[in-house]
Amino acid sequence: MTQAPAFAPASDKTLPLWLVRPGPQGGADLPSGLDAMAQTWARSQGFAGKSGQLCLLPDAQGGLAGALYGIGGADRAGRDRWLLGRAAEILPAGDWRLAAVPADVDPALASLGWLLGQYRFTRYKPAEAPPARLVAPDGIDAAHVLALAAGEYLARDLINTPASDMGPAELEAAARDLAARHGAAVEVTLGPDLLDRNFPMIHAVGRAGAQAPRLIDLRFPGEGPALTLVGKGVCFDTGGLDIKPAASMALMKKDMGGAANVLGLAETLALTGATQGMRLRILIPAVENAIAGDAFRPGDILTSRKGLTVEVNNTDAEGRLVLADALALADEDSPDLLISMATLTGAARVALGPDLPPFFCDDDAVAAAIHDAGRDQADPVWRLPFWEPYETMIEPGIADLDNAPGGGFAGAITAALFLRRFTGQARHYVHFDIYGWQPSAAPGRPKGGAGQGMRAILNALPRILGR
Ligand code: BES
Ligand code: MN
Ligand code: ZN
């Protein structure tokens, strides 16, 4: 859909881009390799190396000789994610190379920020990617950075595409497309077959949709530890009979953000060849939570794949229902690592906001691996607990489980506890409650669909599964 991420070819016509921090006395810490005229020019322009500050450098004929780009003090690192993503958007046309990179700036991560800032969603209206291009910095693994960007681009494209063109059938097509490109086997269980093959909750949630509900199952070729990723694929969430008010429904095309993220992560894993060293499986329950005569109702009691009965106390808590049946299937295989990703609760946003998705994991070492990888790869995530004492909140009395506990306390935790009930055989289970959306444009992150947690997971895998 969108143009693939790309670096500019190396050539002798590239323009130097100097990354500069502030120096003492309000000036910039200008690199010593910068010639005297450029130094004077930068000072006379008041260039101070503040984050995002740009200073274009002229040559003797008045042409463009290069640019200085301020990246702020090292103390700003926690604030300025993807500083180079902004440079990608504001620099004049040309092929740029990083001339000087402060020692504590990771050139691979910086260039990923550039690529992420160049993303445009072009399916319905042409949009030019910014004309400035970056030559891959020396010494980075360019193919790896491109694979990371490609996974993120895919996730964004899938989320940005509205439900009119991204229903369960189109989500299935996207999954098949990914599988075909990487030689993965595909199995899809569709409509009434969901009942025959015992996925009653996926069927109950999705049967009122314009397109049949389905379970998409991808298996990638490879040998090694088993990794199963389950992504929430609610292509549109009206709330069902417990219909959402307009303001809450507005963004619900993104309710397949979990599916988009697991597909994006699979893309990156496959492009880097990492899939060869594992047994990767992707499961996506794909449904619309719609309203029709056959919609599931508040008060209905569903018997899940696992046998646990669930009282539906709110049809808008649909994600955990479809995920539960998919997780139960995943768990039957006893994978080494089972991960769910879902735009599951508003409560997660209330707790941590749109930029910091919570994740849940019982194992301290696994949680530390994920947290640290996210911190190091500019993909921050924050651990919340599977808090046992709240188990009573999801136990309604006349069924095993309640999908929407009253009271509304700890909504992200009770949703996670609900999902965990459908696991137990997997060696480790981790759940991410993501937002999947960038509410307003920021460096490296245009407004719209957003990947969250993919790089945290990717870079934690060696620590969790062993090399
Ligand atoms: N998809 C929503 C959660 C959501 C809303 C995520 C907004 C991100 C942004 C989910 O299906 C939902 O509606 N959850 C309810 C659960 C409640 C009824 C127990 C919620 O969070 O309000
Ligand atoms: Mn809902
Ligand atoms: Zn939902």
319 lines ligand 1 (CB under 6 A): yes
- Assigned token pair, 436: 């999947």
pLDDT by residue (tens digit) across 132-170? 999 999 999 999 999 999 999 999 999 999 999 999 999
CA of residue 251 to ligand 2 center, whole Å: 12
Nearest CA owner, ligand 1 atom 9: 346
> Are 15-140 and 146-465 in the same CATH fold?
no
Q: Percentage of residues in the chain with pLDDT exceeding 70? A: 100
CA of residue 313 to ligand 3 center, whole Å: 14
Distance of alpha carbon 293 from alpha carbon 429, whole angstroms: 37
Count H helices and E strands in the chain, helices first.
Answer: 14, 19
What positions carry a catalytic annotation?
244, 320
Q: Percentage of residues in the chain with pLDDT exceeding 90? A: 93
Which pLDDT score is estimated for 1? Answer: 67
Whether the per-residue pLDDT at 458 is higher than 90: the answer is yes
Distance of alpha carbon 363 from alpha carbon 424, whole angstroms: 13
Please state the separation of Cα 433 from the chain's center in Å. 11
Contacts of 336 (CB under 8 A, 6+ apart): 225, 226, 227, 426, 427, 428, 465
pLDDT by residue (tens digit) across 357-371? 999 999 999 999 999
Whether the per-residue pLDDT at 118 is higher than 60: the answer is yes
pLDDT-based confidence at residue 328 (cuts at 50, 70, 90): very high
342 lines ligand 1 (CB under 6 A): no
Ligand 1 binding pocket mutation candidate from 205, 296, 316, 432 (most atoms within 8 A of CB): 316
Domain ranges of the chain: 15-140, 146-465
Ligand 1 binding pocket mutation candidate from 345, 401, 402, 437 (most atoms within 8 A of CB): 345
Contact assessment for residue 403 and residue 324, using Cβ atoms and an 8 Å cutoff = no
Q: Which residues surround ligand 2, an ion (CB under 5 A)?
A: 237, 316, 318
CA of residue 19 to ligand 1 center, whole Å: 42
Find out if CATH 3.40.630.10 is the number for domain 146-465. yes
| Position in ligand 1 atom list of the atom nearest CA 404 | 19
Residues 144-180 as b/e (b if ≥16 CB within 10 A, e otherwise) read bbbbbbbbbbbbbbbbbbebeebbbbbbbebbeebbe
Find out if CATH 3.40.220.10 is the number for domain 15-140. yes
| Position in ligand 1 atom list of the atom nearest CA 435 | 8
Whether the per-residue pLDDT at 467 is higher than 80: the answer is no
Distance of alpha carbon 395 from alpha carbon 414, whole angstroms: 10
pLDDT by residue (tens digit) across 64-111? 999 999 999 988 888 889 989 999 999 999 999 999 888 889 999 999
* DSSP tag of 313: S
255 lines ligand 1 (CB under 6 A): yes
pLDDT by residue (tens digit) across 3-20? 899 999 989 899 999 999
